[in-house]
Amino acid sequence: MQETTSRYELESTLLQIAGNYSWTWDMSARELFERMPAMNGDAALHPAERIKHLTEDDWAGLIADNEFSKLARLAYSRIPTPVATKGDSTIAYFSPEFGVSGCSPSTPAASACSPVITSKPPATYGCQWLQ
């Protein structure tokens, strides 16, 4: 994205940032999406949904905001690049049980389905479920 920003450039950049879940932990990307107008006041929508529903007036305001454009450039530059090369068959294993805590709202059914924590990757260790 260059110093002057067109709607197409800004929209494309925002969609690329929103399409990579690194925005959830990157502070510049989170600030960027917090500064975007909320659709009907609902800031809880996924950023990609909010981008799709921006009005012409919203776009005009974002394009005119140089600080917003700078923040978009910064967030875009911080999107991690894939480390795998063509032909690699790397699999990412995300372990949601590490994000669950006692203060999280849950149901007994959700607790009953929490996976057992193990140091072995799932490919070498069969899944076990708490009963």
Q: What average pLDDT does this structure show over 121-126?
A: 46
- Between 10-14, 55-59, 96-100, the lowest mean confidence (pLDDT) is in 96-100
What percent of the chain has a predicted confidence (pLDDT) above 70?
55
pLDDT digits (tens, 9 = 90+) for 33-88: 989 887 666 667 888 988 988 999 999 999 999 999 999 999 999 988 766 566 66
Q: What average pLDDT does this structure show over 2-25?
A: 85
Any idea how long the chain is?
131
Rounded to two decimals, what is the model's pTM? 0.59
